[in-house]
Amino acid sequence: MNIIFWAILVVMLLVAISLLVYPLIRVRGSSAIAYKDSNLQINADKLRELDEDLEEGRIDQAFYQAAREELDRELLIDIPEASQQTAAEHYVAAAERHPAIALLISVFVPMLALLLYLQLGMHSASDETQLTAQTAAQKQAGSIEEMTQKLQARVEANGGTVEEWTMLARAHKYLGELELAAAAYAAALEQDSENAQLMLERAEVMALNNERRFNDESRALVMRAYELQPDNPNVLWFAGYAEFQYGNYRQAIDLLTRLLPMATQEEEVVKSIVSIISQSRDKLIAAGEEVPPMETLIREAMAKAPAAMPAQAQATPAAGAAAASQPAATGTRLQVSVTISDEARSKFNANDAVFVYAKAKQGPRMPLAVKKMTLADLPATVTLDDSMAMMAGMNISAFDQLVVSARVTKTGSAIASSGDYIGQLDVQNDRTESAVNITINKPVP
């Protein structure tokens, strides 16, 4: 509706302006009709004589300009007296003597009208638009509630199928009606008692309704789901978190380290899993129990990853992050000597950024250690070790195979992009001090 309104407004404005401007242009083009031939001829002769005098040097430019203005003035005065002008011709003459009037009529008046509308009319229009949007939102919310109520009535009347009860439970959850959602999930489970997904969803709404804490009933649902689907990532996550809340820290570590090879490559997931594993480990140590170093836990978890699993999925950010909660017992130190080819150097400025970093060859995309410098610093030797981990415990000692890189960039971004130059080297991590030589010589595609 707004687009149509503005289109009509623009068309009407253009029509109004054209009606005002066209007579000016048309009459101005045909105004010569009002001149008498004799007056035109006399004026033309005088102008020609002035031009000849100026060209031959008999008068200077100042005199020429003054005489030319005088001729123009005489002609303007003579026109109304010497010819039968139409009202339009007089209008044009007046406009020529006062061009600001024509400009005001043809441009500023429509602009003023538009500004007045924007100031006075738009408020009510915007209020109406906002009211319409609010009404639509209320109708949508109302429609969801109405559909939920109708579905509730239908399943209560005829018993409902598993799908209907599940749909109803999710609708109640969407509306924040957690108790009703839990009851609907319970009804669905009565018909499909071995459905692990429904168990997790019911346990979730119960925990949400209990200040995000599992109770005995919701924990029992999660552990039953684990019995049914022990390799389901969602089940492992819920089970690990439930065991952590119940103080079963070894079980929490076992479940979450099993989750690592399957975890998605998302930083927030990494942080959550690492936090729970680290806290569980700290609790056990505080109780006087022996717990392997974090890097050992991670290596063992990755070693148990299914061989058919793609390398990228075998060591996700979650896996790498979990590798870093504690400094490595043996502590890897990489002495990285960085040089750059003449060709690559010629494409950058001395103050362009250079990043030297190590990543897991099969693991998290997040760097395990990073050192930043400028191109002017090269050649240089830098040290990468566990103290440079970007997250607590996510260190280079946690992985057997590393990729060490050096990259120069004009953008200064820590993420490689086209136009950067890079050098890389695969490194077998023996968890001692190692020397690595890298030359920056390849463009990043």
Q: How do residues 288-343 score in pLDDT, each as one tens digit?
A: 999 988 777 777 776 765 543 433 333 333 333 333 333 333 467 899 999 999 99
What strand order describes the sheet that includes 421-428? Answer: 369-374, 353-360, 401-409, 421-428, 442-443
Contacts (Cβ under 8 Å, ≥6 apart) of 75: 39, 43
Phi–psi pair at 347, nearest 5 degrees: -95, 0
Residue 338 sits in the same domain as residue 238:
no
For the cut 50, the answer to whether the pLDDT of residue 31 exceeds it is: no
Give the H or E element holding residue 423.
Answer: strand 421-428
Most confident of 70-74, 88-92, 242-246: 242-246
Write down the pLDDT at residue 170.
Answer: 85
Within-domain flag for 267: yes
Within-domain flag for 83: no
Residue that is last in its domain, among 322, 356, 389: 322
Residue that is last in its domain, among 277, 303, 322: 322
Residue 363 sits in the same domain as residue 278:
no
Within-domain flag for 208: yes
Write down the pLDDT at residue 115.
Answer: 59
For the domain that residue 225 is a member of, what is the CATH number?
1.25.40.10
Within-domain flag for 342: yes
Residue 192 sits in the same domain as residue 303:
yes
Distance CA 274, CA 257 (A): 9
Residue 305 sits in the same domain as residue 339:
no
pLDDT bucket at 118, cuts 50 / 70 / 90: low
Would you call 347 helix, strand, or coil by DSSP? Answer: coil
Residue 304 sits in the same domain as residue 374:
no
Write down the pLDDT at residue 19.
Answer: 66
Domains held by the chain: number: 2
Within-domain flag for 244: yes
pLDDT bucket at 425, cuts 50 / 70 / 90: very high
Distance CA 86, CA 79 (A): 12
Write down the pLDDT at residue 59.
Answer: 67
* HSE-CB for 20 with a 13 A CA cutoff: 16
Within-domain flag for 68: no
For the cut 80, the answer to whether the pLDDT of residue 387 exceeds it is: no
Residue 173 sits in the same domain as residue 313:
yes
Mean of pLDDT values over 187-202: 94
For the cut 90, the answer to whether the pLDDT of residue 192 exceeds it is: yes
Bridge partners for 428 per DSSP: 401
Residue 210 sits in the same domain as residue 263:
yes
DSSP single-letter state for residue 376: G
Write down the pLDDT at residue 27.
Answer: 47
For the cut 90, the answer to whether the pLDDT of residue 239 exceeds it is: yes
Distance CA 294, CA 257 (A): 10
Write down the pLDDT at residue 327.
Answer: 35
Q: Which of 353, 280, 328 is nearest to 432 (CA)?
A: 328
Most confident of 104-113, 119-128, 166-175, 266-275: 166-175
Who wins on pLDDT, 191 or 67?
A: 191
Mean pLDDT, all residues of the chain: 75
For the cut 80, the answer to whether the pLDDT of residue 65 exceeds it is: no
Residue 187 sits in the same domain as residue 306:
yes
Residue that is last in its domain, among 288, 322, 356: 322
Within-domain flag for 150: no
pLDDT bucket at 148, cuts 50 / 70 / 90: confident
Bridge partners for 339 per DSSP: 439
Residue 173 sits in the same domain as residue 280:
yes
DSSP single-letter state for residue 85: -
pTM over 0.85: no
Who wins on pLDDT, 238 or 82?
A: 238
When computed from its CA atoms, the radius of gyration of the chain, rounded to whole angstroms, is 41
For the cut 90, the answer to whether the pLDDT of residue 125 exceeds it is: no
CA 216 to chain centre: 42
Residue 232 sits in the same domain as residue 339:
no
Would you call 434 helix, strand, or coil by DSSP? Answer: strand
Residue 207 sits in the same domain as residue 288:
yes
Torsion of CA 211, 212, 217, 220, to 10 degrees: -160
Domain carrying residue 414: 333-443
Residue 280 sits in the same domain as residue 388:
no
Q: Contact, 434 vs 389, CB < 8 A?
A: no
Write down the pLDDT at residue 83.
Answer: 45
For the cut 50, the answer to whether the pLDDT of residue 86 exceeds it is: no
For the cut 80, the answer to whether the pLDDT of residue 128 exceeds it is: no
Within-domain flag for 262: yes
For the cut 90, the answer to whether the pLDDT of residue 424 exceeds it is: yes
